[in-house]
């Protein structure tokens, strides 16, 4: 346990605002604590000497030493009550009271006060507006919910108290147990990152699950969760995935919705397994909490029913797993053991008259196969198959081979007893073959997460000072939109740009052109003219002799188009051979939760119409940059599809990393687009740049 040990394993809990008034929250909490907590419960109420048979104190100062204070007083006096708690030297506080930021006005002020108080006294505060916390090892139910949790190895956080009450009822019926449960409330002080860190250090927590509507600090969460998921799986329902859902979440908790794309990327980078429903959340958690990691991605399916066997196979095909190819030995052994009509290839169909012994033989043989990493047992009820005995066989073989096995014993009530026995041994039984495979798939995906190595971002040797100067110039100009005139920024970060210069007289233009081999490209440079081509502001293939006139013409066109436009000059640039090159885009915008979000895609229609892009939260290292390039659908075009020469993918990967470093170094860069970044067989070149900077801070 980490620094929050007093929150979940206190010896003494005070209920500040305890009462025996029927229907009061302060009574419900006291009752829940009294009914199971192994430690001492101390009611605090200045108007009572005793509450529900427990000695009551007028304030925390007067009470015996307290580890955890649960505060349920009315909103108008809640800040004073918490201050009393802090003054009494109590560091851990659960604030049940509502009426904070979620109500605006006075509430928002109260929330600020609470934050300040917590900072001043270094308090661990859960809530406010929380259902409370539970910890099953010591029987502590410091919530006002109607249900207590069973003991288990899942720790559960939720940004919705109702979600907890809705789930517990059902989980109890299913025999699903928890270690700690916390209702996060407004997350004024402690948030998801704190609990992920805490439970990551808790040896008794096998799986962390949560329902979240937002993540306060995406970067902190990403760093922490990435470490925690090395050892402990995290499964989250992050709601507000859709536009409508995000709007609803925002009106529910006042959360500012970051983009779903950022959450998707950030949670994936953090190693979090995402669920989209309550059912998925627990289907995954059940597999992750009791089974060993699979030994490879090959799945064996053992069944007595052809149809369900085919459905299971389809589900495997839909997952990250694959049907195991049995070795010849396995097939021979199965053929020996099974009747002629059985199918000894995967899925093994032991056919309708299979009894428990035939299942034992099939499962044992399959799990013995080195190509089998895990197994699913799927059965239809028959007169000759006893489910209780089948459960015993599954438990025995799972342990003997130390490979994960999940079951789908079909047929309602008939399977209930067997399901309970299986559960005791950590084997989840699922209603449906597709859910069984999804459970196994979560386990396999977590196995990948726990085994992955994510290289640290490379720190390239860049000219940070020069970049700072360029950005400062924009700051001085009070212009927040920068364009091609700031290409030196890329140069400072070691990103190749075509030879050339921005000049402000025609003679200089000719000099520059003459210093460049071959014809040049000339472009008007003006922050006020964004679509240069449309006004004839770009000239291609200009010979040295024509450069002077071309300069005059470009400036005239710009003036003609918009007399008051700021013209910074004309860019004279090396003309690249684009014939064998591919246009790509690397962009960045800042997400309110996750910060810099990098985007990669091929140019033009690929980004604009097909939306074929990859995103990652920066900073990223080489592996992640390469993943970005590989995961777009059009990736084969870069790798030399259809007879093209392969582009310099390594150059693209490096450029993405250098831009990751740039946007991480300068938070004042709000948006950035290198478009196009041309990738040819011999290298990459950034042709154009647009960025938006925050001129207030640099």
Nearest to 324 by CA among 354, 291, 347: 347
Closer to a second copy by Cβ: residue 313 or 575? 313
φ, ψ at 48 (rounded to 5°) = -130, 150
Cβ closest to a second copy, residue 435 vs residue 523:
435
Contacts of 435 (CB under 8 A, 6+ apart): 279, 283, 408
Of 23 and 563, nearer to a second copy (C-beta) is: 23
251 or 453: CB nearest a second copy: 251
Please list every residue from 72 through 131 that binds a second copy, using CB under 8 A. 103
Q: Minimum distance from CB of 117 to a second copy (Å)?
A: 24
With 0-12 / 13-18 / 19 or more C-beta atoms within 10 angstroms meaning exposed / middle / buried, residue 478 is exposed
Count of positions on this chain that bind a second copy (CB under 8 A):
87
Looking at residues 132 to 151 of the shown chain, list those that interact with a second copy (rule: CB under 8 A).
146
440 is an interface residue for a second copy by CB under 8 A:
no
Q: Are 538 and 523 in contact (CB under 8 A)?
A: yes
Beta bridge partners of 377: 302, 407
3-state secondary structure at position 297:
coil
Of the candidates 141, 148, 158, 526, which one interacts with a second copy according to CB under 8 A?
158
Q: Where are the beta strands (DSSP E) in 144-270?
A: 150-158, 177-183, 207-212, 234-238
Nearer to a second copy, 382 or 692 (CB): 382
**Which residues ranging from 596 to 655 are in contact with a second copy (CB under 8 A)?**
604-605, 608-610, 612, 633-634, 636-637, 641-642
| Piece in contact with a second copy (CB under 8 A), picked from 200-208, 224-232, 300-308, 514-522 | 300-308
- 252, 394 Cβ separation under 8 angstroms: no
Dihedral angle sign, alpha carbons of residues 471, 474, 479, 481 = negative
Separation of alpha carbons 114 and 641, rounded Å: 60
Instruction: Return the residue of 65, 317, 455, 518 that touches a second copy, per CB under 8 A.
Output: 317
Applying CB under 8 A, does 445 fall inside the site for a second copy?
A: no
Residue of 195, 250, 444, 251 whose CA lies nearest to 260: 250
Q: Name which of 144 and 221 has its Cβ closer to a second copy.
A: 144
362-381: which residues touch a second copy (CB under 8 A)? 380-381
For the segment 557-576, give every residue that binds a second copy (CB under 8 A). Answer: none
**Closer to a second copy at the Cβ: 151 or 469?**
151
Which stretch, 37-45, 430-438, 476-484, 684-692, contacts a second copy (CB under 8 A)? Answer: 430-438
Residue 678: count of CB within 10 angstroms of its CB? 23
Does an H or E element contain 551, and which? helix 547-561
Q: Which is nearer to a second copy, 60 or 181 (CB)?
A: 181
Closest separation between CB of residue 170 and a second copy, Å? 4
Asked whether the beta carbons of 398 and 427 are under 8 A apart, the reply is yes
- Which residues have C-beta within 8 Å of that of residue 228, sequence separation ≥ 6? 196, 197, 199, 200, 208, 234
The minimum distance between CB 377 and a second copy, in angstroms, equals 13
Query: Which residue from 81, 167, 288, 598 is in contact with a second copy, where contact means CB under 8 A?
Result: 167
CA 34 – CA 13 distance, rounded (Å): 10
- Comparing CB distances to a second copy, the nearer of 3 and 241 is 241
Q: Closest separation between CB of residue 413 and a second copy, Å?
A: 5
- Residue 241 or residue 464: which is nearer to a second copy going by CB? 241
Closest C-alpha to 157, from 140, 178, 129: 178
> Given candidates 186, 434, 573, 685, which one binds a second copy under the rule CB under 8 A?
434
| H-helix segments, 49-92 | 75-87
Strand 298-303 with 322-323, pairing: parallel
Regarding 538 and contact with a second copy (CB under 8 A), the answer is no
Rank residues 137 and 339 by Cβ distance to a second copy and give the closer one: 339
By beta-carbon proximity to a second copy, the closer residue of 85 and 235 is: 235
Interactions with a second copy, residue window 324-363 (CB under 8 A): 341, 343, 345, 347, 349, 352
Task: Give the C-alpha distances (Å, rounded to integers) separating 352 from 349, 383, 385.
Answer: 8, 9, 9
For residues 168 and 147, is the Cβ–Cβ distance under 8 A? yes
What distance, in Å, lies between the first and last C-alpha atoms of the chain?
40
Which of the residues 24 through 83 are near a second copy (CB under 8 A)?
none
For residues 594 and 264, the answer to whether their CB atoms sit within 8 Å is: no
232-261: contacts with a second copy (CB under 8 A): 237, 239-245, 247-249, 251-253
Tell which one of 309, 426, 506, 569 touches a second copy (CB under 8 A). Answer: 309
Going by DSSP bridges, is the β-strand pair 569-574/500-503 parallel, antiparallel, or unpaired? Answer: antiparallel
CB of 362 to a second copy, least distance (A): 15
Which of 8, 57, 163, 221 is in the footprint of a second copy by CB under 8 A? 163
Residue selected from 315, 516, 647, 662 as contacting a second copy according to rule CB under 8 A: 315
SS3 label, residue 215: coil
Interface segment toward a second copy; rule CB under 8 A; list 32-40, 153-161, 287-295, 571-579:
153-161
Count the helix, strand and coil residues of the chain and give each as a percent rounded to the nearest 5.
40, 20, 35
Token output for 92: 């851990």
x/- letters, 278..297, toward a second copy (CB under 8 A): xx------------------
| 210 lies in the binding site for a second copy (CB under 8 A) | no
């Amino acid at each position: 346990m980490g620094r929050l040990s007093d929150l979940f394993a206190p010896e003494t809990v005070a209920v500040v605002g305890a009462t025996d008034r029927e229907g009061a929250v302060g009574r419900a909490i006291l009752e829940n604590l009294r009914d199971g907590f192994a430690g001492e419960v101390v009611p605090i109420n200045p108007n009572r000497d005793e509450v529900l048979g427990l000695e009551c104190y007028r304030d925390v100062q007067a009470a015996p030493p307290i580890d955890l204070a649960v505060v349920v007083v009315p909103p108008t006096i809640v800040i004073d009550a918490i201050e009393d708690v802090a003054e009494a030297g109590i560091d851990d506080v659960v604030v049940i009271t509502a009426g904070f930021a979620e109500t605006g006005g006075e509430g928002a002020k109260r929330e600020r006060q609470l934050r300040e108080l917590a900072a001043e006294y270094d308090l661990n505060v859960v809530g406010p507006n929380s259902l409370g916390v539970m910890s099953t090892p010591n029987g502590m139910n410091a919530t006002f919910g109607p249900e207590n949790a069973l003991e288990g190895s899942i720790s559960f956080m939720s940004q919705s108290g109702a979600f907890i009450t809705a789930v517990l009822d059902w989980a109890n019926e299913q025999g699903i147990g928890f270690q700690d449960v916390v209702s996060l409330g407004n997350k004024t002080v402690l948030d998801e990152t704190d609990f992920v860190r805490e439970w990551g250090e808790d040896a008794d927590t096998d799986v962390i699950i949560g329902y979240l509507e937002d993540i306060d600090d995406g970067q902190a969460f990403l760093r922490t969760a990435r470490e925690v998921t090395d050892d402990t799986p995290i499964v989250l329902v992050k709601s507000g995935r859709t536009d409508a859902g995000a709007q609803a979440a925002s009106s529910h908790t006042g959360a500012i919705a970051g983009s779903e794309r950022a959450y998707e990327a950030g949670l994936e980078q953090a190693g979090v397994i995402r669920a989209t429903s309550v059912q998925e959340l627990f289907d995954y958690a059940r597999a992750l909490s009791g089974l060993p990691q699979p030994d490879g991605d090959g799945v064996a399916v053992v069944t007595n029913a052809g149809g369900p066997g085919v459905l299971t196979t389809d589900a495997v095909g839909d997952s990250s797993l694959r049907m195991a190819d049995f070795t010849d030995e396995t097939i021979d052994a199965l053929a020996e053991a099974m009747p002629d009509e059985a199918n000894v290839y995967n899925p093994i169909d032991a056919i309708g008259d299979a009894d428990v012994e035939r299942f034992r033989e099939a499962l044992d043989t399959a799990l013995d196969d080195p190509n089998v990493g895990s197994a699913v047992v799927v059965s239809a009820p028959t007169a000759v198959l006893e489910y209780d005995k089948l459960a015993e066989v599954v438990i025995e073989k799972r342990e003997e081979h130390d490979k994960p096995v999940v079951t789908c014993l079909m047929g309602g009530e008939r399977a209930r007893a067997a399901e309970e026995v299986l559960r005791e041994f950590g084997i989840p039984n699922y209603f449906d073959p597709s859910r069984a495979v999804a459970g196994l798939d979560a386990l396999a995906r977590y196995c990948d997460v726990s085994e992955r190595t994510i290289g640290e971002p490379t720190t390239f040797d860049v000219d940070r000072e020069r970049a700072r100067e360029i950005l400062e110039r924009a700051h001085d100009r009070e212009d927040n939109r920068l364009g091609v005139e700031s290409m030196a920024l890329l140069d400072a970060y070691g990103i190749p740009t075509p030879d050339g210069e921005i000049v402000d007289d025609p003679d200089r233009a000719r000099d520059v052109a003459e210093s460049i081999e071959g014809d040049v490209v000339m472009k008007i440079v003006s922050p006020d003219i964004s679509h240069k081509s449309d006004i004839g502001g770009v000239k291609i293939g200009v010979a040295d002799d024509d450069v002077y006139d071309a300069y005059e013409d470009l400036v005239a066109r710009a003036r003609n188009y918009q007399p008051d436009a700021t013209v910074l000059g004309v860019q004279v640039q090396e003309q690249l051979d684009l014939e064998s090159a591919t246009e790509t885009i690397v962009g960045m915008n800042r997400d309110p939760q996750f910060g810099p979000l990098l985007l990669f895609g091929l140019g033009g229609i690929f980004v604009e119409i097909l939306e074929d892009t990859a995103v990652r939260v920066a900073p990223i290292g080489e592996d992640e940059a390469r993943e970005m390039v590989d995961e777009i659908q059009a990736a084969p075009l870069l790798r030399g599809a259809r007879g093209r020469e392969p582009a310099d993918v390594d150059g693209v990967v490096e450029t993405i990393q250098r831009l990751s470093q740039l946007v991480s170094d300068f938070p004042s860069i709000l948006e950035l687009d290198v478009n196009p970044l041309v990738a040819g067989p011999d290298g990459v070149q950034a042709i154009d740049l647009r960025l938006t900077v925050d001129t207030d801070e640099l």
